[in-house]
Amino acid sequence: MIFGYARISSKSQNLSRQIKELEEYGCDRIFHEKQSGKDFDRPVYQEMRSKMRFGDVLVVHDLSRFGRNKKQILEEWKKLVEEEIDIVVLNMPILDTRKYNELEGVGQLVSDLVLTLLSWMVDEERERIRTTQREGIEIAKKLGKFKGGKKRYHAGATGKNKIIYDEVVNCLNENVSVMDIHRKTGLARNTIYTIKREIDHEQTT
């Protein structure tokens, strides 16, 4: 059986494109969820895994849909290969384990390639974020709008600020909407979005 898996990390994103590609590929069953990719403790993914058997195929659009933690992705990849479940990554045709089933030792080479690709992707994303931040600051400075003030709500905050920060993080982890968090904590939505971006960035590193 061919299983398709689609994932997004926030309710503001859309699963339609991933699902359409999996349908066009010919997946027999498609599982999808809105969960962070920081680990594999995801209800829908675990449900899908419990149904997969020897000879099945798992199809994902790209590696980031599979997960974000490169160490855990490599471990999960190896488990699937050991269970003789094939993996297909649609936007990277080289990552199709069915191509290497008859070639001894190549499976390990592909696993190593996965880790290398993940490391590259994480580094690229980190550099992109840094570049975007630098460009944003430079533009703000030119417009006279940049203010380098100290953040109040962050992981290292203390007292009331730390309590509010922790509450925001807990709500985000439970997929509470930004508007509801705003109503609950009184924080500006921009501040909540900033905290969310920081958390998402940490989960990709």
* Domains of the chain in sequence order: 2-119 (3.40.50.1390), 149-205 (1.10.10.60)
Q: Is the pLDDT of residue 98 over 80?
A: yes
Supply the pLDDT for residue 202: 67
- Please answer whether residues 2 and 56 qualify as being in contact, where contact means their C-beta atoms are separated by less than 8 angstroms: yes
Question: Can you tell me the mean pLDDT for 66-78?
Answer: 79
| CA distances (Å), origin 70, targets 5, 89, 147, 166 | 18, 15, 35, 26
* Distance in angstroms (rounded) separating the CA atoms of residues 19 and 28: 12
Predicted confidence band at 105 (pLDDT cuts at 50, 70, 90)?
low
Residue 8's DSSP bridge partners are 34
Strand stretches in 9-111, DSSP E:
29-34, 57-60, 86-89
> Six-digit token pair at 66?
């599979």
In which residue are the tokens 């269970």 written? 83
- Please answer whether residues 15 and 32 qualify as being in contact, where contact means their C-beta atoms are separated by less than 8 angstroms: yes
Q: How would you class 53 by CB atoms within 10 Å of its CB: exposed for 0-12, middle for 13-18, buried for 19 or more?
A: exposed
Q: Per residue in 115-162, pLDDT tens? A: 677 656 655 665 666 676 676 667 666 666 555 556 788 888 888 888
Predicted confidence band at 66 (pLDDT cuts at 50, 70, 90)?
confident
Instruction: Say what the pTM is.
Output: 0.57
Predicted confidence band at 8 (pLDDT cuts at 50, 70, 90)?
confident
* Residue 96 DSSP code: B
Q: Per residue in 155-171, pLDDT tens? A: 888 888 888 888 898 88
Residue 59's DSSP bridge partners are 4, 88
Query: In the β-sheet with 29-34, what is the strand arrangement from edge to edge?
Result: 29-34, 2-8, 57-60, 86-89
